[in-house]
């Protein structure tokens, strides 16, 4: 009997302890709760952040983010830690002649966890001053400090719809991008004539399809490697390589190069020059350009 009384007493004590834990901290409070004023304050705070980007107001941006802010912005490759890193990340955009011109919140929600924590997912459509805008998909975390809501974490990413649309239209080609592409293109040609197998393996992936000038055969990676080997074994050497004209189109991470080419090889004291036109496909993969296909012809 004493043991039963002890068990009952223990259960009563455990129930009492659980009862001391605030229920609000265990349950999410969604749109139907009584937090309308807090929800309004948070959404107004998000508006103020967009306004600061439009006005390029660095001081206001710093004030609207927590000291220990954590998260990711568009194109972040590593986590941003703290307000100083955040400001360092956004400052180049604030100094640019381009930038955000306007915005519109398309959908949003606020879910509270207790009295001082809120999770805020939303989609925003932005317009820019000089280039096309698009949609952002954002997840913010807000904390109430000294009676005021402040953003303490965020994950900001380009909306999948905008990513898909951007790949349908030509991307701008900077001088640096053009230089890297032309360097990769020349490396492929020179690696072939030199039978540089390690370089060829790095630049020509397994799925490559190639059509050579004057040939009715389509080559894959193995056939291309074999062709390079036969050229080297013949004793011939490349003595001249030129690309008189080159035009480039970019779609996402795919580059299409339209070119004219001229190369001269020497074999047994004799020289032979070949020229024509080419269309070459390059894909940006693991930080470098690889040649996934080409079609060459004599131009006649």
pLDDT in tens, 73-103: 998 999 999 999 999 999 999 998 888 999 9
Cβ contacts of 200 within 8 Å, gap of 6 or more: 188, 191, 192, 224, 225, 228
What CATH number was assigned to the domain covering residues 23-166? 3.10.450.50
Averages of pLDDT over each 10 residues, the chain, 300 residues: 41 38 49 82 97 96 97 94 97 89 96 96 92 91 96 96 86 93 97 97 97 90 97 96 97 96 95 96 96 91
pTM above 0.85, yes or no: no
Q: Which CATH class is domain 175-297?
A: alpha beta
Q: Is 289 exposed, middle or buried (0-12, 13-18, 19+ CB in 10 A)?
A: buried
The per-residue pLDDT for range 212-250, each reduced to its tens digit, is: 998 888 999 999 999 999 999 999 999 999 999 999 999
Q: Where are the domains of the chain?
A: 23-166, 175-297
Q: Please give the DSSP secondary-structure letter assigned to residue 231.
A: H
Q: Is 54 exposed, middle or buried (0-12, 13-18, 19+ CB in 10 A)?
A: middle
Q: How far apart are CA 114 and CA 128, in angstroms?
A: 37
Cα 156 to the center of its chain, rounded Å: 12
- Name the residue among 283, 192, 287 with its Cα closest to residue 237: 192
């Amino acid at each position: 009997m004493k043991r039963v009384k002890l068990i009952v007493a223990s259960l009563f004590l455990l129930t009492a302890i659980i009862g001391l834990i605030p229920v609000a901290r265990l349950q999410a409070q969604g749109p139907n709760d009584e937090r309308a004023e807090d929800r309004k304050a948070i959404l107004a705070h998000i508006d103020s952040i967009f306004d600061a980007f439009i006005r390029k107001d660095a001081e206001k941006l710093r004030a609207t983010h927590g000291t220990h802010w954590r998260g990711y912005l568009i194109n972040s490759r590593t986590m941003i830690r703290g307000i100083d890193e955040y400001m360092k990340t956004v400052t180049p955009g604030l100094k640019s002649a381009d930038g955000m011109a306007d915005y519109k919140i398309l959908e949003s929600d606020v879910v509270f966890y207790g009295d001082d924590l809120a999770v805020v997912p939303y989609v925003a459509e932005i317009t820019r001053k000089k280039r096309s805008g698009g949609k952002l998909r954002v997840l913010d975390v807000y904390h109430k400090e000294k009676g005021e809501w402040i953003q303490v974490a965020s994950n900001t990413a380009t909306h999948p719809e905008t990513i898909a649309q951007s790949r349908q239209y030509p991307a701008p080609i900077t001088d640096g991008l053009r230089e890297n592409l032309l360097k990769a293109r020349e490396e492929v040609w020179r690696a072939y004539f030199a039978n540089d197998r390690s370089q060829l393996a790095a630049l020509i992936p397994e799925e490559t399809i190639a059509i050579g000038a004057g040939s009715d055969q389509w080559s894959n990676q193995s056939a291309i490697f074999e062709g390079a080997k036969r050229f080297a074994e013949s004793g011939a050497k490349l003595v001249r390589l030129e690309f008189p004209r080159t035009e480039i189109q970019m779609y996402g991470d795919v580059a299409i190069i339209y070119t004219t080419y001229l190369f001269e090889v020497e074999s047994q004291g004799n020289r032979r020059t070949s020229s024509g036109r080419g269309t070459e496909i390059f894909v940006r993969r693991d930080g470098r350009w690889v040649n996934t296909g080409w079609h060459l012809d004599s131009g006649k």
